[in-house]
Structure 1
């Protein structure tokens, strides 16, 4: 069975959640006997033909304006994979208006709808309208819908009255990365991590945008007056939002208490920061199972998460939840008063994530889904073949009369 996984920037994974997903799932499907192809952006260097026995194909153009580039890239991937594969798995629905393409080639399209993109605050009204219709087209033009959150699953079935399949995102237990600040000094300017010590800083790993509540976390942290520092790992996607956050820091005179690292794409460095932080802030609120949250859980972090149904679905009662900067202030005071009191939370998130979110178990669910859909396809083909034979026999019979 030939399957294409498209919609990510490509593998090996160097960016975000979709890339990690494509990387982890593709190699596990190959191990189960699938022939898997993954699309890669044109700027990828070097252009290797295979990775972990997964076939790679590349968009011929290098990245330019992201919004336009990603749409053209997705359309190219839909066409290319329609020629070489039996089934196509699209990650995201940015190119939803073009999901009719596989139907032209009589190929089955699976779509991971991700979050509810059109509700995100970072988009203007026109962008939200385009994303809303893109989601609508994606749902109705796809053959199989997949959601990585039960809440998103319910949203799709309730809004569109179409069956959706819940299969979560995954995570693996990483190797131990002992605290070694010299590894950070080798990458960042001297003094960036001055006085940063093991188990003595808070951490955020996220895209720095409104839906991830970076402003709320930073304000709550600065209000607390803690002596610990806050390490913020990720990139601002908007100058306007960056200015808004920096104004909060200015108002509280907190520049010496917060370290902005930008995006860190070296897995070992990111794991070292996660494994050795005092506590982890998670502000994601836009829907879906967030990869950074699962990573924090597998590291046995004390987690301070934004209070919404998506985070509660994943973490249950094993984390602290906040709705405001003032609540963050109170949580920090409580943890710093007696952190040992909350060791049970660390064990709780670890047990939860290893029981329900391992990559191996996620791959099993995809294997089941693909096999089920393939069997249904073969049954349809068999029915078509039998019907064709019946019509042929009727025609022969009519000619002999």
Structure 2
């Protein structure tokens, strides 16, 4: 990558809703990466959606800039709003930073903007967006076009899973860079009934419940998980953390739940952003059920793993890349039901799954490892040469002593 030495060298990370994280995976990724890069001496900007005054200009050393337009209340207008937001962020970042790191490619029609300013553009595609079942045919076609444009304009494509890298490299004959998402080691939290949300406060769930943490969308197979849970013989509750993005999908799931047996308890908590509460729920569940099917290394899966959970995951290349043989997999609701009954009948057979997958994740997916890779990626070549020269000089000095 073409980089020149400049004491004010800076990186702009755009495409998320902003930091501090109050939304999801990309936002948590942005928050951790940006703040850790600042600790390593990097100058970092992060784009944020509209915020009321007073707006913070910095967050833990990271420079923040804001889109001046309020987001719409109608979900239908959200796509157009995000396109404008990304366009604004691209223009601002291209004027003020040396390298622009774009998360997602829905605004790929505007990816030429950094080139107008002679700036470097890196793009993380966030999986195969065009495969998401929530989109209609027209939007899927536009997303396929956007993917092509992203590859065309980007100096470098970043893949957060090996499967995504293989797809990009084979389809577009490029050499993308694989850097996975990170998993944060979580301190053990004692069970505290008092901090539970009202919907589950009076439910006797500890320590036996199944947990789902996800955006409640079709490609995350929420319906499949619920149908499988209802088919199973378990009497353990199913706790689902997340919000519905579409009212039709929400209504279709409510119809499935209506008339379900009284011994089945399904509780939707909505989104939870309190890290202590969320980590407590993760650490104490009987098993974590992960239905994501489109994307790379999924943050909620890693956080379930690092919480030492037994994982029941949708059977696809992305989840298998992370979990390998240390999870139980499902492709339909019958298999969800079967896996639930299997672990309840023979729990001792799966104890080792938790330890094996945890030990792998804490090393391979450690944030320290991920940030170090990005730190090298965002270091100008001239600076790297100076670093290597200094290391070589120190090594020569050590040899001379002998």
TM-score of the superposed pair, with normalisation by structure 1: 0.89
| Contact 2:236-2:264 within 8 A present in 1 as well | no
Q: Does 1:375 align with 2:385?
A: no
**Cα distance change on mapping 1:58 and 1:260 into 2, 3 Å:** same
Cα deviations by residue, 1:166-196 (Å, 9 ceiling, x for unpaired):
1001011122221112111xx435xx44333
| Structure 2 equivalent of residue 220 of structure 1 | 228
| Structure 2 equivalent of residue 76 of structure 1 | 88
The alpha carbon displacement at 1:22 in A equals 0.8
| Contact 1:249-1:255 within 8 A present in 2 as well | no
For 1:139 and 1:47, locate their aligned partners in 2 and report how far apart those are by CA, in whole Å: 34
| Structure 1 equivalent of residue 129 of structure 2 | 117
| Structure 1 equivalent of residue 34 of structure 2 | 26
Q: Does 1:132 align with 2:140?
A: no
| Structure 1 equivalent of residue 397 of structure 2 | none
Picking from 180, 183, 187, the partner of 2:195 is 183
| Structure 2 equivalent of residue 233 of structure 1 | 241
Q: Does 1:351 align with 2:354?
A: no
1:261 partner SS: strand
The alpha carbon displacement at 1:225 in A equals 2.1
For 1:263 and 1:118, locate their aligned partners in 2 and report how far apart those are by CA, in whole Å: 25
Cα deviations by residue, 1:42-71 (Å, 9 ceiling, x for unpaired):
136651111111111111112113211111
For 1:336 and 1:377, locate their aligned partners in 2 and report how far apart those are by CA, in whole Å: 56
| Structure 2 equivalent of residue 268 of structure 1 | 276
The alpha carbon displacement at 1:377 in A equals 11
| Structure 2 equivalent of residue 316 of structure 1 | 324
Cα deviations by residue, 1:298-354 (Å, 9 ceiling, x for unpaired):
000011001111100011111111112222222111211232332101101101111
The alpha carbon displacement at 1:376 in A equals 7.8
**Cα distance change on mapping 1:378 and 1:232 into 2, 3 Å:** closer
| Structure 2 equivalent of residue 366 of structure 1 | 374
The alpha carbon displacement at 1:375 in A equals 1.5
Picking from 59, 65, 72, the partner of 1:57 is 65
| Structure 2 equivalent of residue 97 of structure 1 | 109
For 2:142 and 2:54, locate their aligned partners in 1 and report how far apart those are by CA, in whole Å: 35
Picking from 3, 6, 10, the partner of 1:2 is 10
**Cα distance change on mapping 1:356 and 1:227 into 2, 3 Å:** same
Moved more, 301-310 or 253-262: 253-262
| Structure 2 equivalent of residue 37 of structure 1 | 45
| Structure 1 equivalent of residue 390 of structure 2 | none
The alpha carbon displacement at 1:255 in A equals 8.8
Residues paired across the two proteins, number: 373
For 2:354 and 2:314, locate their aligned partners in 1 and report how far apart those are by CA, in whole Å: 17
The alpha carbon displacement at 1:250 in A equals 2.3
Q: Does 1:211 align with 2:223?
A: no
The alpha carbon displacement at 1:281 in A equals 0.3
| Contact 2:194-2:201 within 8 A present in 1 as well | no
| Structure 2 equivalent of residue 149 of structure 1 | 161
Return 5+ residue gaps in structure 1 as ranges: 380-401
**Cα distance change on mapping 1:102 and 1:378 into 2, 3 Å:** farther
For 2:33 and 2:204, locate their aligned partners in 1 and report how far apart those are by CA, in whole Å: 36
Alignment of 1:186-205 (within 5 A): 187-188=197-198, 192-205=200-213
For 1:366 and 1:293, locate their aligned partners in 2 and report how far apart those are by CA, in whole Å: 22
For 1:31 and 1:202, locate their aligned partners in 2 and report how far apart those are by CA, in whole Å: 38
Which structure has the higher relative contact order (CA within 8 Å, separation 6+)? 2
| Structure 2 equivalent of residue 388 of structure 1 | none
TM-score of the superposed pair, with normalisation by structure 2: 0.89
